[in-house]
Amino acid sequence: MPLSAAARPWTPAPAPAVLAAPTRATLAAAYAANRANAAQASRMAAAHGDPHRAAVERELASPSRQLLTFDGRGPGRATEVVGDLAHADRVAVLVPGSDTSLDTYDRFRAGAQALFRELTRQAPPTARPAVVAWLGYETPGTVSTTVLTTGRAEQAAPHLRQLVHDLRAVVGAAPGRSPHLTLVCHSYGSVVCGRAAAGLAVSDIALIGSPGTGAGSVAALHTPARVWAARGADDWVAHVPHVRADLFGTTVGFGTDPMDPAFGARVFRAGKGGHSAYFTPGSPSLTNLARIVLGTPKELR
């Protein structure tokens, strides 16, 4: 198992590729530039004596990978597309929670792949789905003080907003297209989505395994999107106190439980799974997430 970020010094990596905002015409070039950067990062990690990071980055540099962004420095950041973004009209953006980094990236990507497979299985013939796995911020550690505050989410929110803006420019480029964008926000990622939500041009926001959003209600998010919430029966996050308190000048906690009727979210079934089981094939949570992304929520089970 790789050492945690707190337990080892960072592995060296090149600065990320400098690229203009993506368009349908430049997607392939962006993917190629970021794969080349990941390959260089892999070589640097290997030379530094970090075989795990080198292997992760070498895999990210594979010709089949579609990296919209990549930054191998520190815990690492990456935005990866699963599917054909240039022609997509149903796009899910996965926003991860704590302890997600390049060292644990395979676990995060597996969820994106599972959602894409389910979207493909359920999609009507005219729908063209894609999934964007957005590791676009430095996530807090599960055992840390940062996981109890909105600080990392506030730093991440402008980057998530920019991603949504860029995606709309890509998937809305075709005449007559009306793209359906959904944020799928897991765990601490729901705090990030809560901070980014105000006025954001997305159709749906799905909060799964959420400790709270930092807002007291859906109305306080100031979002035009439909807001959904689900929690597995065995998810430990249900036992997290849903409070907000000021301690030594810092606000700790994330407020109202999104599963609470007082919050105002549209609650859907997630099944019996735990905190990491929302993308398990065949689960009610994955089935229902796909229906939200496809814009067919009346079929939620």
- pLDDT exceeds 90 at position 142: no
pLDDT digits (tens, 9 = 90+) for 23-61: 999 999 999 999 999 999 999 999 999 999 999 999 999
- pLDDT exceeds 50 at position 5: no
Q: What is the mean pLDDT of the chain?
A: 91
pLDDT digits (tens, 9 = 90+) for 95-139: 999 999 999 999 999 999 999 999 999 999 999 999 999 999 999
Q: Which of 176, 189, 172, 166 is nearest to 237 (CA)?
A: 189
Q: Are 291 and 119 in contact (CB under 8 A)?
A: no
Looking at residue 168, what is its pLDDT? 94
CA atoms within 13 A on the CB side of 72: 30
- pLDDT exceeds 80 at position 249: no
**Distance (Å, rounded) from C-alpha 103 to C-alpha 2?**
7
- Based on the number of CB atoms within 10 Å of its own CB, is 274 exposed (0-12), middle (13-18) or buried (19 or more)? middle
Looking at residue 3, what is its pLDDT? 38
Rounded to an integer, the average pLDDT of 246-271 is 82
- pLDDT exceeds 70 at position 245: no
For the beta sheet containing 204-208, the strands, ordered from the edge strand earlier in sequence to the opposite edge, are 67-71, 77-83, 129-135, 90-95, 180-186, 204-208, 226-230, 266-267
- pLDDT exceeds 60 at position 17: yes
Looking at residue 240, what is its pLDDT? 80
**Distance (Å, rounded) from C-alpha 53 to C-alpha 40?**
12
Looking at residue 144, what is its pLDDT? 67
pLDDT band at 250 (very low <50, low <70, confident <90, very high): low
Of 295 and 175, more confident:
295
pLDDT digits (tens, 9 = 90+) for 151-171: 899 999 999 999 999 999 999
**Distance (Å, rounded) from C-alpha 212 to C-alpha 199?**
19
